[in-house]
Structure formats: structure tokens, C-alpha cells
Amino acid sequence: MTRRREWILIAGVALAAAAAGYAYNAWRTAPEAGARAEAGLAALHATRLPDLDGTPQPLAQWRGKVVVVNFWATWCAPCREEIPLFVKLQKKYGERGLQFVGIAVDQPDKVRPYAAELGMNFPVLIGGAGAIELTRALGNRAGVLPYTVIVDRDGKIRSKEVGVAKEAKLEPLLASLL
């Protein structure tokens, strides 16, 4: 075998292996991702979680409004950073049909004093491990907080944001949906 043919052979095998590996990975993850997002949306609409008084609250009760679902926790510093912005926007746009809903991946007795301190003017629900699963289903693959989903009046997801929300981006988006 000549040198050149040898190298063509090696390159061919390497490329084939790479292509096979990549295709396998794509096949393994891709079709599920689409189905998962669908199922995630369905699950979001079907979610019913206890509020700070322990009363179960279905998310479906806010259908027809622009709903901002924010997954957060008191132990998550960046989450706490963005809540004053949510309080402000809820005050400003609440009458026009904007509804913030906080889902705290936390214990109720940790959330209660915190919500009072910040004057959270929107419902805060207590989610468990299932809440993180729900965000994963919605596309939060790493399972991190804060995670924010914006649902429009028709129940469609318009934005999914990992990390702290920025006023300059969030407010125009919400205004356009209202």
C-alpha cells in the first residue's frame, strides 16, 4: 500500500467514524427534543401547584393573559436580583393583562418572609423536583435557575430565558404581546 492510499484510507475511516458518531448523537437527541417541547408546553398548562397558603393553584386560571412564569429560589442569588423588576412590571402592566407567576423551587417557610420583604405583588407557587423537571421539559437542559417562560394570550410560548432577565429586553417584548 502506498503512503498516499494509506492516508486516504485513514482519513476515510476517521471521517466515517466521525459522521457515524455525530449522526447517532443527532438521532438520539433530536426527535425527542421536539416532542419534549410539545409535552413541556402541555405540562405547563396542566401544572397545578400549592401557593404560599397551601391552596393548589392551576396555571390554567391565567389563560388569556400574558403570563410570565419565573422559576426561582431564595437560595439562588441571581434569581433574587431580578424580582424587583418583576414587581415593577407587574404594577405597570397588570391592568393590561400581564400576569407574573413565580414558581419557587424552595420551602414555603423560606419563601414567605422573602416574598413579604420584597412586596411580591404576584402569586408565588411552591414547586418541587417536578418543577425542575418541568423546566427541563421546556428546554432548560442544564436544570438551572432562574428560568423564565413567557406565554402569550393564545397559550403559546413566546420566550424562554435562562438567567437574569434584562429590563431593556423584557419590557418591549411584554409591551408587544399586550
Partner 1 sequence: MLKHLLTILWLLALAAPAAAAEQDLLEPDQAFRFSARVLAPDAIEVRYQVAPGYYLYRDKFKFAAQPGSVELGTPELPPGKLKKDEFFGEVQTYRGEVRIRLPVRAAGAANVTLVATSQGCADAGVCYVPHDQTARLTLAAAGSAAGPVRPERSAAESKDEGLNALLSGYSGSPGPGGDDGTIARLFHGELWLLILSFFGFGLLLSFTPCVLPMIPILSGIIVGRGNRMTRAHAFLLSAAYVLGMAITYAAAGVLAGLSGAMLSAALQNPWVVGSFAAVFVVLAGAMFGFYELQLPAALQSRLADASNRLHGGHLAGVFGMGALSALIVGPCVAAPLAGALLYISQSRDVVLGGSALFAMGLGMGAPLLAVGASAGALMPKAGAWMETVKRFFGVLLLAVAIYLVAPLVPLAVEMLAWAALLVVSGIFLHAIDPLPPGARGFDRFAKGVGVIALVAGVAYLVGALAGSRDILQPLAGLRSAAAPAAPVAFTRVDSTDALDRTVAASRGQPVMLDFYADWCVSCKEMERYTFSDPEVQKRMAGMVKLQADVTANTAAHQALLRRFRLFGPPGIIFFDREGREIDGLRVIGFQSARPFAKVLDQALAFERGAP
- The residues that are catalytic are 76, 79
158 binding partner 1? (CB under 8 A):
no
Select the span of 71-79, 88-96, 150-158, 167-175 touching partner 1 (CB under 8 A).
71-79
Strand-strand pairing, 98-105 and 48-50: unpaired
113-148 burial code (b ≥16 CB/10 A, e <16): ebbeeeebebbbbbbeeebbebbebbebeeeebbbb
**Three-class SS string for 61-92?**
HHCCCEEEEEEECCCCHHHHHHHHHHHHHHHH
Read off the DSSP letter of residue 96.
Answer: G
Interface residue with partner 1, options 12, 84, 119, 163 (CB under 8 A): 163
Q: How far is the CB of 62 from partner 1 (least distance, A)?
A: 16
Q: How far is the CB of 50 from partner 1 (least distance, A)?
A: 8
By C-alpha distance, which of 111, 125, 43 is closest to 80? 111
Residue type, 170: L
123 binding partner 1? (CB under 8 A):
no
61 binding partner 1? (CB under 8 A):
no
Select the span of 7-15, 62-70, 91-99, 151-159 touching partner 1 (CB under 8 A).
7-15
Which spans of this chain sit near partner 1 (rule: CB under 8 A)? Answer: 1, 3, 6-7, 10-11, 13-14, 17-18, 20-22, 24-25, 28-29, 32, 35-36, 39-40, 42-43, 46-49, 56, 73, 75-81, 105-107, 126-134, 136-137, 141-147, 162-164
